[in-house]
Amino acid sequence: MRVPKHVLILGGTTEARRLAAELAADPALRITSSLAGRVAEPRLPTGEVRIGGFGGPDGLAAWLREQRVDALIDATHPFAGTISRNAATAAAEVHVPLLALRRPSWVPVAGDSWHPVGSLDEAAAALPALGRRIFLTTGRQGLAAFAHLTDLFFLARSVDAPEAPMPPRTEVLLDRGPFTLEGERAVLREHRIDVLVTKDSGGAATAPKLAAARELGLPVVIVRRPPAPAGVPEVPDVAGAVAWVVRQA
């Protein structure tokens, strides 16, 4: 009997789950998805799932070897820079083919008022000049960068509750995408938001906030992505990743 090819998907994104579901339908493949374990109740992908860090690039390399992984797909969030670098290092070490599935960056359109910054600290520095009531959608980690902004109101949206330190005038909104334009419009109006802060996550699930901000003429502070590791082939969508796996097999 033919041994199924083992594909490891580094996940934690919608695309990673969709990819696992598509690939798991092929009996010639064994699919394992890996999650960091950050979210208390993650949406679990189809197929085998392992949860928790590997212990750096060496730990990941050992896992690839021990579990006889034939192909590795880094389908993590564009801001998960450490695991992407670890994947590049480990795959090179054990000679496992690696592909990055990374959603394209968002692109501004007419009517947008975007303020690109390089980090959460730079986002915080830009805020006082832009407004007083801030919609912070950068995730539950990193609120510390805004903690010194004691005069500003923050509506901080995240899947799980953020931990201190955070700005004193913070209201937490626990929610998980996908979001709708109507819903985002309502959030901005209800909380009288005058600035949106977001990472350049890309993808459709969280894009409606950008359209809602455009409609209301609000400035958007957008945090640029960390650099992706050099030399790793990249596809923008699940179909591209499926085609790559088929070529590997």
Ligand X SMILES: NC(=O)c1ccc[n+]([C@@H]2O[C@H](COP(=O)([O-])OP(=O)(O)OC[C@H]3O[C@@H](n4cnc5c(N)ncnc54)[C@H](OP(=O)(O)O)[C@@H]3O)[C@@H](O)[C@H]2O)c1
Residues forming contacts to ligand X in the complex (CB under 6 A) are 10-13, 34-36, 38, 53-56, 59-60, 76-77, 79-83, 86, 139, 199
Q: Which is nearer to ligand X, 32 or 170 (CB)?
A: 32
CB of 79 to ligand X, least distance (A): 4
User: Smaller CB distance to ligand X: residue 7 or 80?
Assistant: 80
> 3-state class of 223 per DSSP?
strand
Distance separating alpha carbons of residues 81 and 15, to the nearest angstrom: 17
Query: Closest distance between ligand X and the C-beta of residue 215, in Å?
Result: 25
C-alpha 114, offset from chain centre: 20
| Helix (DSSP H) and strand (DSSP E) numbers for the chain | 7, 12
Least Å distance, CB 132 to ligand X, is 25
Cis peptide before 27 (omega within 30 of 0): no
55 versus 168: smaller Cβ distance to ligand X:
55
Instruction: State which residue, 13 or 170, has the beta carbon closest to ligand X.
Output: 13
* 3-state class (DSSP) for residue 137: coil
> Nearest-CB residue to ligand X?
53
Measured N-to-C along each axis, helices 14-24 and 238-248 cross at an angle, to the nearest 10 degrees, of 40
Q: Is 222 helix (H, G, I), strand (E, B) or coil?
A: strand
Q: Write out the DSSP string of 43-63.
A: PPPSSEEEES--SHHHHHHHH
Q: How far is the CB of 4 from ligand X (least distance, A)?
A: 21
Q: Which is nearer to ligand X, 169 or 236 (CB)?
A: 236
CB of 98 to ligand X, least distance (A): 14
